Amino acid sequence: MFGASLSFVNWDVFEHGVVETFQRHRPFPEEGEQPIGFDLHCKADKTFHAKMYRLSDLSDSPPTGLAPWRSGINDFLSHKPYPGSWDGVDHKGEDREIVVMEYVDVPEAVRTWIEEQQRKTNDTQGLKWFYGVFTKPKDENDNIYHTAPPRPTQPAAGEETYQAPAIPDKDKIVVFPGAAVYENAPLWVAAGSNCERPLSTLEKYKPSVIEDSVLGWVVEHTKPQRDHGKRDITFKVEAMYVTETYDAKRSRLMWEKLHRTLRRNDRKMKKEERLRAKQEIEHGRVKDEL
């Protein structure tokens, strides 16, 4: 049996806090329904099985640790900021959590996205490579020091470029902090859903709901039963496609205009106050000279 579900409220947020770079917020109501003022066109969800480890487990042998991958995982994590576990939680130090999955259990669209990011390692602009893909050890003495190369791509017409043979996905694992899911959450649930086309379009994927949006979130997850030597967990990803209703948009635009006006008036008042203060200082200086 898996640990108790932490549906809707992640108490670790209050106990441990989140990383400073985590700027995302649950984009839809706690009960998972569409946001008020928006039309829900479709939604999809899917539950995934994985394992969750702490960095303190890296030196331990499987199944409670990740010793064969210790060097590779340490190297992978050291070159990027830690984006947090679920909801950006940061347990800090050796208690930081990482998720491990069989690579073949990751949806094909997510695997493609991961490898597209991996191929951009020389281009730091927009790089979101928070997923480390590693081969499985061939025997008990095999240690993994580096991430696995992405699957070969088809060479351009007339191009003859040697590419190493593809490593079967069943022979790989993927390691990632939980918050990495928010870089591509809709892709986790798009395939086979009635929402496949919009959820596969990450250009519409937003961290918060606005006008015409695809939203995604890890709505439920479990904790490993570490006291019993278990590392198994599940996590459920939900995504939806919504558009703002006419009335809601009109109301939003009205309030945005009002807020802009108030901010503009506030800036004007502060500017006038600074000008009066300056004039009073200048006037007082002239009087003193007389």
Domain boundaries, the chain: 12-153+164-244, 246-290
- Residue 115's SS3 state is helix
pLDDT band at 140 (very low <50, low <70, confident <90, very high): confident
Tokens standing for residue 192: 């086979």
Q: What values do phi and psi take at 180, rounded to 5?
A: -60, -25
Residue 126, pLDDT score: 46
Residue 59, pLDDT score: 95
Rounded CA separation 113/120 (Å): 11
Q: What are the tens digits of pLDDT across the range 57-99?
A: 999 999 999 999 999 999 999 878 899 999 898 998 999 999 9
**Residue 13 above 90 pLDDT?**
no
Give the contacts of 162 (CB within 8 A, at least 6 positions apart): none
The whole-chain average pLDDT of the chain stands at 84
Most confident of 31-40, 166-175, 247-256, 259-268: 166-175
Most confident of 31-45, 127-141, 275-289: 127-141
Q: What phi-psi label fits residue 172: left (phi over 0), alpha (psi between -120 and 50 degrees) or beta?
A: beta
Most confident of 107-121, 189-203, 234-248: 189-203
**Residue 14 above 70 pLDDT?**
yes
Q: Mean per-residue pLDDT for 9-32?
A: 78
HSE toward the beta carbon, residue 24, CA cutoff 13 A: 24
Q: What are the tens digits of pLDDT across the range 97-114?
A: 999 999 999 999 999 999
Residue 163, pLDDT score: 65
Q: Mean per-residue pLDDT for 208-225?
A: 89
CB atoms within 10 A of CB 236: 19
- Segment among 26-30, 72-76, 251-255 with least mean pLDDT: 251-255
